[in-house]
Amino acid sequence: MDLINIKVNQTDNLVFMNELSHIDRKGQLRMVDVGDKPITARRAVAEGIVITGSDIIETIRSDQTPKGNVLEAARLAGINGAKHTWELIPLCHQLPLDHVQIDFELEEDRIRIITSASTRASTGVEMEALTGTTIAALTIYDMLKAVSHSITIESIRLLSKSGGKSGDYHAANIIEKDEGTRA
Bridge partner list, 40: 121
Question: What does the H/E/C string look like for 126-180?
Answer: HHHHHHHHHHHHHHHHHHHCCCCCCCEEEEEEEEEEECCCCCCEECCCCCECCCC
Query: What residues are annotated to the active site?
Result: 142
Q: How far apart are the first and last CA of the chain?
A: 49
pLDDT of 165 higher than 50: yes
- What CA–CA distances, in Å, run from 59 to 64, 120, 154? 5, 40, 21
Residue type, position 21, single letter: S
Bridge partner list, 152: 51
pLDDT of 40 higher than 50: yes
Residues 5-25 have pLDDT tens digits of 444 444 454 444 445 577 877
Contact between residue 113 and residue 106 where contact means Cβ atoms under 8 Å apart: no
Provide CB contacts within 8 A for 28, sequence distance 6+: none
Query: What is the mean predicted confidence (pLDDT) over 129-152?
Result: 97
Say how far apart CA 136 and CA 104 lie, in whole Å: 10
Strand intervals (E) in 58-127: 97-106, 110-121
Query: What is the mean predicted confidence (pLDDT) over 81-101?
Result: 95
User: Taking Cα atoms as reference points, which of 38, 133, 128 lies closest to residue 87?
Assistant: 128
Q: How confident is the model at residue 176 (pLDDT cuts 50, 70, 90)?
A: low
Structural domain boundaries of the chain?
1-30, 39-170
Query: What is the mean predicted confidence (pLDDT) over 145-165?
Result: 95
Domain 39-170 sits in CATH 3.30.70.640 = yes
Predicted pLDDT at 120: 96
pLDDT of 4 higher than 50: no
Say how far apart CA 160 and CA 82 lie, in whole Å: 16
